[in-house]
Chains A and B, each alone.
Chain A
């Protein structure tokens, strides 16, 4: 440990930017980014499953509102949605005195809400597409077994749809990680926020941003790796046999 410490100090000596202090900023940023992205993706998926089923419903009063929601959130930039949630909510009279203020006072929750709604909209469309593309034969077979619509959805349609949606959803996860960079505009110290801080403090844009770009790259590769493994396992039956 002593040795490691000495090695670390030596590594950092002779440069004014990457001190232990700024590195701790980057570390804090990494934690915040991962938390924010992970939570919004998790809640987003939980919201997206019922929404995707509803989106394919035959009843217009279920189908249309969901379509309107995904249309709006996919049709506007995430940055604007974030601004609206963060700066927009304070214009509701009396929000400061209501219980919601506990949530909206922080920068984290408005960002989490904006990110969640955004990713839920995209994920809804991804799942909806996958559900729609379920092979006719599978549905007919389920019917022949006398399954109710609910049971068929649970046992046949959703499992096979999730598998087909996996590659597209992996992309959405990566997009979300990259899109989370806008969180820094509402004072959240995420990875990009940390890079902005180092940049503004030392006027060293290249060093500050190349470092953070490398961290994003590592995160992206880890996500890709996980999804590759998942696809290998879950889509094994679709691979051509040797």
Chain B
């Protein structure tokens, strides 16, 4: 009996909530939980009070405001970020996730909102030619496990380099600094932030060109990820991404955090849908 009453009440609440939502779209916001792997500086980190901040936090909050959604952030380590989404621990991932075919089998992606190249880093006094594959025999390289950079290094250099896979990008940097690693293959912004290799007096340097291809591995850029069925939610964020690009909000945010360009302007065809 009690069950009946509860479900009747619940149904009533749901229906009225729906109606109210339509009537007062401004007030009753839909809530969305966003999963993110912390820290990934300067995309996401903690300030002195332990509050989340960073480029992706600001961007995410901006997107939510435009899509008229009430957003909260849920922390999740990278290893389990897709299973966490599928297990409904949160409703979307906004955590610098690159679009790849393997991930597309599991989740649905929004339009990409930024794209960064990956770079080879080594100690400044080392003389390594990354394009001369034979000369790399036996050198050790550190990557974060399960990232597109892990896939690239495994596929292209698995036969010559000794690949060390770490749980976080911080551990990779630790071991580069301790001298355990000869090379690391890092996401450009992470490398800038953690080892500052672009300064002349930095003990580290970039090797060769920045790498963005093949697209089959590196994808079209970083995007939000949703459960396959949440098409409506993804469409809302797609629209918001188009908006922040169109009115220059994205550029403003980007300049606040970066001194290089990581935009991927969505095409008009993408935004027209």
Contact = CB atoms under 8 A, between A and B. Distances in A.
Partners in one complex: yes
A200 B145 contact: yes
Interface of B: 78-80, 82-83, 102-103, 105-106, 142, 145-146, 150-151, 164-167, 174-175, 178-180
Contacts of B164: 107, 187
Contacts of A87: 174, 178
B165 A197 contact: yes
Interface of A: 16, 87, 90, 96, 101, 105, 107, 185, 187, 189, 193, 196-197, 199-203, 205
Contacts of A187: 142, 164-166, 175
B79 A196 contact: yes
Given A200-B79, A201-B146, A205-B80, 7 more contacts: A90-B179, A107-B164, A107-B180, A193-B165, A201-B150, A203-B82, A203-B83
B165 A202 contact: no
B77 to A, nearest CB: 11
A229 to B, nearest CB: 38
Contacts of B105: 16
Contact of A201 (B151, B166, B179): B151
B146 A200 contact: yes
Contacts of A16: 105
A185 B167 CA distance: 7
B179 A105 contact: yes
A31 to B, nearest CB: 16
Contacts, number: 45
Closest 7 CB pairs of A and B: A200-B146, A90-B178, A187-B164, A203-B82, A96-B179, A200-B145, A203-B106
Contacts of B79: 196, 199-200
B158 to A, nearest CB: 10
A197 B164 CA distance: 11
A87 B174 CA distance: 8
A87 B142 CA distance: 15
Contacts of B150: 200-201
5 contacts: A101-B179, A197-B165, A200-B79, A203-B82, A203-B102
A146 to B, nearest CB: 58
A105 B180 contact: yes
Given A185-B167, A187-B166, A197-B145, A205 B151 contact: no
A197 B146 contact: yes
A202 B106 CA distance: 9
A196 B145 CA distance: 8
B178 A96 contact: yes
Nearest to B162: A106
A107 B174 CA distance: 13
Contacts of A205: 80, 83
A105 B176 CA distance: 11
B113 to A, nearest CB: 21
B102 A202 contact: yes
Contacts of A96: 178-179
B117 to A, nearest CB: 22
A188 to B, nearest CB: 9
B272 to A, nearest CB: 32
A203 B103 contact: yes
Nearest to B106: A203
Nearest to A187: B164
Nearest to A193: B165
Contacts of B165: 187, 189, 193, 197
